């Protein structure tokens, strides 16, 4: 019997254009918390997806409890006691919590003695019992679409426990949680280990590794860099290992120099498709040279707030002013022309037309103006010149220059393209929503610097981010949003991240 519960030997996985994992070998002991550290695209998720049976390795072998296994499906992995909480939850929104948990291994009963049917009552009882046993309280009869992110995550964990999984994989589990929720989750993870479970934690947050992990494998560009002991290695060493160079952790921030009020929002209310008020009576203002950051847990109305300011979501109450003029009912185009730039959360589906080339995308907000368009006809050379200039100035890298289809570009360069386009509009107000999500450290640094540069150039910046670190690093003023309401607005200096976290959970002191 091997001392390792999971071993991956010489695993290689290729996707069109990239080698996601290159000859990676790791070995995990039973009952330990094993962290996988690496930047986005380092190959952590791919490696674990192979252990979970979503992909099969092109080369290499996987051993579970000392035996060589082929995992051709998640079902095969589940049989071996492997469970995974994905970064993007895999839940059926219109099913109840209990239905989601039992999906695939539903308890059955015979109706009228012969008709096989689902025994949903038994499922509800079982789930209630299970959730009590592990201290993960949920109401089995609630629908997924009616509960928040942290409850959804509990459901994912319960799904694994219901299947009696022994090896639990968590993919970036803390990305969407408040500090308090993170603390709770880490506690649960430690308890699970105490209960004999083996835990694999995929993350890029060094503090979490320090807090709970026993050992940590560092991946970069698909390769295994090394395996370290979490207790004896400093976070700084880990970071350097992950990035492959010295990391600057602090960005320099000049003192603020506020000008006149650029954006003013009064009593703003937004309803979603179901008629629920997702933004309620929100009011704030952003001055020139100020970064106003909205902090909050995902799904508390911050996206709708940004969309309403940009004109993409209908408001059902309140007023919006841009540089003193009311724009509550102005069209999107009108707002852009009056001076509003918007870096949206969903860069692929909203910020870009993926099947257009780079030149066309870089002109997405100015194609109708001279010199791009004269009397309704397009001037291709204007598109090309403009594209080439931006590629040069903003260091946007792509395979075939301006003629590259944006779909084929990396996430970082896609975001660079959007930011370049939006900065070029020279707007009075810039809205950034989750500007660094999913990017690697180098790109994150770069974008944060750009945001600060825009503020120093005298623009008003509205920043919406789920990462409290980012908000703490950049904001001049912080507004915390909870269930659509702005619970607290304060200068950044007056708010600790701990305090902000409390407001994010709705604790108003």
Partner 1 sequence: MKKKSGSGFRRAVLAVFGDERRQSITIPVFAVVLSLLASAVMLLALGKDPINAFLGMLRGCGIIPKANYAARTGMLTDFMSFLNVLAPMIFAALAVAVASKTGLFNIGISGQMLFAGFIATVVVGYSDLPAAAALPLVIIIGIVAGALIGGIIGFLKYKFNINEVVSSIMLNYIIQYVVSFFINMYYVDPVSRQSMYISDASRLTVTGVEIFGMKADLPLAMLLVPPAIIFAKVLFDRTKIGYEMKSVGLSRNAARYAGMSVGKNMVLSMLVSGALAGLAGVAYYLGYFNSIQPGVLTSVGFDSIAVSILGNYNPLGIFFSSFLITIVSKGSTYMSSSAAIPQEIASIITGLILVVSACTFFIRTKLARMSERELESRRAAEAAETPRPAVPAADDDSKGGER
Partner 2 sequence: METFISDGLSFALPLFVIAIGGIYSERSGITNLALEGMLGMGAFVGALAVVLFTNGAFAGEFYLAMLFALLGGALFAVIHAVLCINFRANQVISGVVINILATALAAFLAKLINSAVFGQNSNKFQLSTAPTLGAIFPGISGVPVLGRMYVFVPIILVVALAAWFVLYKTRFGMHLRACGDNPHAVDAAGGNVARTRFIAVIASGALSGIGGICFAYYIAANFSPSIFMGYGYLSIAALIFGNWRVMPTLAACLLFGFARSGGYAVAKILELPSTFSNLIMTLPYIVTLLLLVFFSKSNRAPRALGEIYDKGKR
Binding partner 1 by CB under 8 A: which of 355, 393, 395, 494?
355
> Between 45 and 84, how does the x/- string for binding to partner 2 read (CB under 8 A)?
x------x-xx-----------------xxx--x-----x
CB of 355 to partner 1, least distance (A): 5
> HEC states along 172-223?
CCCCCCCHHHHHHHHHHHHHHHHCCCEEEEEECCHHHHHHHCCEEEEEECCE
Interface residue with partner 1 among 249, 349, 400, 508 (CB under 8 A) is 349
Pairing assessment for the beta strands 67-69 and 59-64 based on DSSP bridges: antiparallel
Distance of alpha carbon 136 from alpha carbon 151, whole angstroms: 9
Which residue in the set 1, 17, 94, 509 belongs to the binding site for partner 2 (CB under 8 A)? 94
Distance CA 123, CA 144 (A): 16
Position 104 contacts partner 2 (CB under 8 A): yes
> Considering the complex, what minimum distance in angstroms separates the CB of residue 93 from partner 2?
6
Number of residues engaging partner 2 in binding (CB under 8 A): 32
Residue 18 lies near partner 2 (rule: CB under 8 A): no
Neighbours of 492 (CB within 10 A): 19
Length of the chain: 509
Q: How far is CA 113 from CA 120, 121, 122, 123, 345, in A?
A: 17, 17, 17, 19, 53
Q: Cβ 76 to partner 1, closest distance in Å?
A: 14
Asked if residue 87 binds partner 2 (CB under 8 A), the reply is yes
Partner whose binding site includes residue 103, from partner 2, partner 1, none (CB under 5 to 8 Å by kind): partner 2
Among 58, 61, 106, 266, binds partner 2 (CB under 8 A): 106
The CB-of-377 to partner 1 minimum distance in angstroms stands at 6
Task: Kindly state whether residue 237 participates in binding partner 1, applying the rule CB under 8 A.
Answer: no
Q: Which is nearer to partner 1, 103 or 364 (CB)?
A: 364
Q: E strands along 18-142, which residues?
A: 18-29, 33-37, 59-64, 67-69, 82-85, 108-111, 115-118
Q: Which helix (H) or strand (E) holds 99?
A: helix 97-102
Query: Residue 356 interacts with partner 1 (CB under 8 A)?
Result: yes
Give 408-424 as a DSSP string.
GS-HHHHHHHHHHHHHH
Residue 187 CA to residue 167 CA, distance in Å, equals 17
CA 383 to CA 358: how far, in whole Å? 10
Q: Based on the shown chain and the rule CB under 8 A, indicate whether residue 457 belongs to the binding site for partner 2.
A: no
Residue 143 interface partner, choices partner 2, partner 1, none, CB cut-off 5-8 Å depending on type: none
C-beta of residue 251 within 8 angstroms of C-beta of residue 227: no
**Residues in the site for partner 2, rule: CB under 8 A?**
15, 45, 52, 54-55, 73-75, 78, 84, 86-88, 90-95, 99-100, 103-106, 108, 111, 115-118, 159
Binding positions for partner 1, rule: CB under 8 A: 14, 16-17, 56, 58-59, 310, 312, 331-336, 342, 344, 346, 349-356, 360, 364-365, 367-368, 373, 376-378
């Amino acid at each position: 019997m091997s001392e390792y519960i999971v071993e991956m030997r010489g695993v290689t996985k290729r996707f069109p254009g990239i080698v996601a994992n290159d000859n990676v070998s790791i070995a995990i002991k039973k009952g330990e918390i094993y962290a996988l550290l690496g930047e986005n695209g380092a190959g952590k998720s791919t490696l674990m997806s192979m252990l979970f049976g979503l992909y099969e390795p092109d080369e290499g072998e996987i051993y579970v409890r000392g035996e060589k296994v082929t995992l051709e499906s998640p079902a095969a992995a589940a049989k071996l006691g492997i469970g995974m909480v994905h970064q993007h939850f895999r839940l059926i929104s219109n099913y109840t919590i209990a239905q989601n948990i039992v999906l695939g291994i539903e308890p059955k009963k015979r109706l009228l003695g012969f008709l096989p049917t689902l025994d949903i009552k038994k499922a509800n009882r079982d789930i209630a019992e299970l959730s009590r046993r592990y201290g993960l309280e949920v109401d089995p009869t609630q629908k997924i679409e009616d509960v928040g992110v942290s409850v959804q995550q509990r459901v994912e964990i319960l799904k694994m426990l219901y299947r009696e999984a022994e090896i639990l994989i968590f993919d970036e589990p803390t990305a969407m949680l408040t500090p308090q929720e993170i603390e709770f989750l880490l506690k649960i993870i430690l308890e699970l280990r105490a209960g004999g479970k083996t835990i694999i934690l995929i993350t890029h947050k060094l503090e979490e590794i320090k807090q709970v992990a026993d050992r940590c494998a560092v991946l970069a560009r698909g390769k295994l860099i090394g395996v370290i002991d979490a207790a004896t290695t400093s976070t700084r060493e880990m970071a350097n290992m992950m990035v492959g160079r010295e990391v600057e952790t602090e960005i320099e921030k000049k003192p603020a120099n506020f000008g006149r009020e650029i954006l003013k929002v009064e009593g703003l209310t937004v309803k979603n498709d179901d008629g629920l008020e997702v933004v309620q009576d929100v009011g704030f203002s952003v001055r020139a040279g100020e970064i106003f950051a909205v902090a909050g847990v995902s799904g508390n109305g911050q996206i709708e707030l940004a969309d309403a300011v940009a004109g993409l979501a209908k408001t059902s109450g309140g007023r919006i002013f841009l540089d003193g003029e009311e724009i509550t009912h102005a069209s999107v185009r009108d707002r852009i022309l009056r001076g509003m730039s918007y870096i949206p959360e969903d860069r692929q589906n909203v910020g870009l037309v993926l099947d257009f080339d780079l030149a066309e995308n870089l002109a997405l907000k100015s194609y109708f103006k001279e010199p791009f368009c004269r009397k309704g006809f397009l001037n291709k050379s204007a598109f090309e010149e403009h594209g080439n200039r931006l590629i040069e100035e903003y260091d946007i890298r792509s395979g075939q220059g301006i003629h590259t289809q944006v779909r084929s570009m990396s996430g970082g360069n896609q975001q660079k393209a959007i930011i370049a386009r939006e900065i070029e509009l020279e707007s009075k107000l810039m809205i950034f929503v989750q500007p660094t999500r999913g990017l690697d450290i180098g790109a994150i640094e770069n974008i944060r610097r750009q945001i600060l540069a825009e503020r120093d150039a005298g623009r008003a910046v509205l920043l919406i981010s789920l990462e409290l670190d980012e908000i703490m690093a950049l904001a001049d003023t912080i507004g915390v949003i909870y269930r659509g309401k702005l619970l607290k607005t304060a200068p950044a200096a007056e708010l600790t991240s701990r305090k902000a976290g409390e407001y994010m959970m709705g604790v108003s002191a």
